Amino acid sequence: MTNWPAMADKYLMNFVERLPLTLVKGQGARAWDENGREFLDFVGGWAVNSLGHCHPAVAQAVTEQVNTLIQASNQFYTIPQIRLAELLVQHSCFDKVFLANSGAEANEGAVKLARRYGKLHLKGAYEVITTTSSFHGRTLAMVAATAQPKFQQPYIPLPAGFVNVEYNNFGVIKAATTSHTCAVMLEPIQGEGGVNLPDPDYLAAVRAWCDETGILLIFDEIQTGLGRIGTLFAYEQYGVEPDIITLAKGLASGIPIGAILAKDSVSVFTPGEHGSTFGGNPVACAAGLATLQFIIEHDIAGNAQIVGQYLISSLEGLKPKFPFITEVRGCGLLVAMEFSQDIAQAVVMACLERGLLINRVKPNALRFMPPLIITKAEVDEALGILAEALASV
Ligand SMILES: *Cc1c(COP(=O)(O)O)cnc(C)c1O
């Protein structure tokens, strides 16, 4: 039988620590390896498979589109792109949409949009304030935005125009604002940084400051958006309307996509100032449309809220038995469990052996990001495996 990990080592660049598992198939919250072994999937393609693996509504929309029109370029109007933008606008506080191919690319576009706005309305201001333990993507500019040394150090010097300040501290944003500042960019809840929730008044304070100074507020909702945290968008839960948000991960159930949503007053691109060959591609947009329609029509965000609360309380229930669990935190189906020691990798491996896929978000923390269609019974099943794994480490 083919040794896929060995072949991968031979042919692929060594950019990520992979687990010793080759997945060949997925359905709903389950995935299978090449030997037919079944796993319960609480990684979900890194918070991407919002409707689970190969959801029939998405598979059908993609199949139809692939047999109809795969690519046409943005020089022409294509219908899935227009319909997806319409649905995003109808269900958000925004007016205009730009479609890209990934999260990092959406964020790059959002920063470019903020810089255009700065040139036109803020006397040439260009600097973007971002926060520690954030994650905004892997392009060079987004590495400069991502205020984590492990991502920045290997690539210094970084592109200019980003100021990194402490997350969840309004005072430092105020102090960092100068006449060069055009925007503040934040994840309302930090995902890759370890599922970090803001204090209740932090985002509102930043919004008020942006209103006072005229600078833009950008929410990176690539991980929190599209129902993951129990509402369609995170900004709804905090009662704060940003000027721009970015989406990607869960938007098209696994087909690469990214999106910038902005208020009319901020949508200042003119023809030629930004663009993409694949962005808004009919197949990706058909997948996005099918996903978003399903999320809205079946109140998938509501399920994420209910089952997410159940997941959090079930995880809390493990604390007495495993005193090395120091904290369970999260919102909807974006949840972390932190330990007093760096045992997350050992727990991930012990879960893998027992049929549960789970993510280590920090050396001492796990992250749970199952599909948003997950049931309480599947949570019970996962927690049974997790308890065995915790007992084994
Ligand atoms: C994953 C992620 C990104 C990057 O998205 P890519 O599609 O990997 O470029 C950016 N911001 C947040 C909050 C993310 O979770």
Give nearest CA residue, ligand 1 atom 5: 103
Provide mean pLDDT across the span 152-156. Answer: 97
User: With contact defined as beta carbons under 8 Å apart, do 167 and 132 qualify?
Assistant: yes
Tokens standing for residue 112: 């470019």
Supply the pLDDT for residue 257.
98
User: Taking 90 as the threshold, does the pLDDT of residue 1 lie above it?
Assistant: no
Q: Which of 220, 269, 294, 368 is catalytic?
A: 220
pTM here is 0.98
Distance 164 CA to ligand 1 centre (A): 18
Residue 39 annotated as catalytic = no
Provide mean pLDDT across the span 335-351. Answer: 98
Q: What is the pLDDT of residues 85-132, one digit of tens each?
A: 999 999 999 999 999 999 999 999 999 999 999 999 999 999 999 999
Ligand 1 first shell, C-beta below 6 A: 102-104, 107, 135-137, 187, 191-192, 220, 222-223, 248-249
Output the average pLDDT for the chain: 98
Distance 2 CA to ligand 1 centre (A): 32
Domains of the chain: 4-55+300-392 (3.90.1150.10), 56-297 (3.40.640.10)
Q: Which of 94, 96, 249, 339 is catalytic?
A: 249
Q: What is the pLDDT of residues 294-327, one digit of tens each?
A: 999 999 999 999 999 999 999 999 999 999 999 9
Closest atom of ligand 1 to 107 CA is: 10
134 pLDDT band, cuts 50/70/90, is very high
